[in-house]
Amino acid sequence: MPHHRRKSAFTLIELLVVIAIIAIL
């Protein structure tokens, strides 16, 4: 995984996506 510095950013985006999906469901 070359994206080690942006791992936090990706994690935040994934969290937002998961929360959005749960909200829709």
pLDDT, tens digit, 9 for 90 and up, residues 1-25: 555 666 666 788 889 999 999 999 9
Torsion of CA 20, 6, 4, 8, to 10 degrees: -50
- How far, in Å, are 3, 17, 25 from residue 8 at the CA level? 10, 14, 26
Under DSSP, the state recorded for 6 is T
Hey, is 9 helix, strand or coil? helix
Which pLDDT does position 12 carry in this prediction? 82
Which pLDDT does position 11 carry in this prediction? 81
The secondary structure element, H or E, covering residue 10 is: helix 7-24
